[in-house]
Amino acid sequence: MTEALFVLYFVVLVATLFIKTPIIKGPWLFLLRAFFPNWKFFHAVGYVPHLYARSAVLRVSGELQWSDWVLIYPRRVRRLSHLVHNPDTNIGLAQQNMVDHFWADLHDLPEGVDPRGLVSYQMMQRLTDQVLRACDVKFTHSQFELRMVLDGRAANVDTQVMMTSPVEAAC
């Protein structure tokens, strides 16, 4: 019996390599996908989506004074104690998964469609504001950018901007 289940498992794995299924879309399925990681990073080695943000303060003269672009989620430091309790890295992985889903949504978006209608866009906007506020940054406006980064051994080899959000007033 165990051998039959083992063979069935590998038959299903091989079948998934050859059978192409349509992309399933819907509002309820979109909400459920937060529970599942985006496995598209296994398709190819190359550019990886990174989320950058910047904030601005409205000056008396009426112009915005912008900060530098900041990477929202740099890699977390790993420790031996994280094998038992690791909430900081877990939330970071969930948020990076959200960035990956946003990239996939932008990639699948038809030409000429405004990405601000995407739920994942609105999530990125809220995430950006939340991170900037957590850094005790006082700002009146914010902006985020999705960049596709090709990492090398020592530094970034290439960076391409996939999308820059319009300037949004802080709530």
Residue 134 predicted with pLDDT over 60: yes
Residue 120 predicted with pLDDT over 80: yes
In which band, very low, low, confident or very high, does the pLDDT at 45 lie, cut at 50, 70 and 90?
A: low
Q: Where are the alpha helices (DSSP H) in 19-155?
A: 27-32, 87-108, 119-134
Q: How many domains in the chain? A: 1
CA distance 84 to 72: 25
Which position has the token pair 């009426």? 62
Phi, psi of 22 (to 5 degrees): -70, 160
Phi, psi of 16 (to 5 degrees): -70, -20
**Contact between residue 168 and residue 141 where contact means Cβ atoms under 8 Å apart:** yes
State residue 56's pLDDT score. 92
pTM of the model: 0.69
- Domain range for 36 is 2-169
Helix and strand totals (H; E) in the chain: 4, 6
Q: How far is CA 131 from CA 5, 17, 126, 134, 140, in A?
A: 47, 39, 9, 5, 14
Spatial neighbors of 104 by CB under 8 A, at least 6 apart, are: 38, 40
Q: Where are the alpha helices (DSSP H) in 45-158?
A: 87-108, 119-134
**Contact between residue 55 and residue 141 where contact means Cβ atoms under 8 Å apart:** yes
State residue 125's pLDDT score. 93
Which position has the token pair 């900037």? 132
Instruction: Map residue 22 onto helix, strand or coil.
Output: coil
- Which residue type occupies 129? D
pLDDT digits (tens, 9 = 90+) for 56-86: 998 888 899 999 999 987 666 777 887 788 8
Average pLDDT of the residues in 27-53: 68
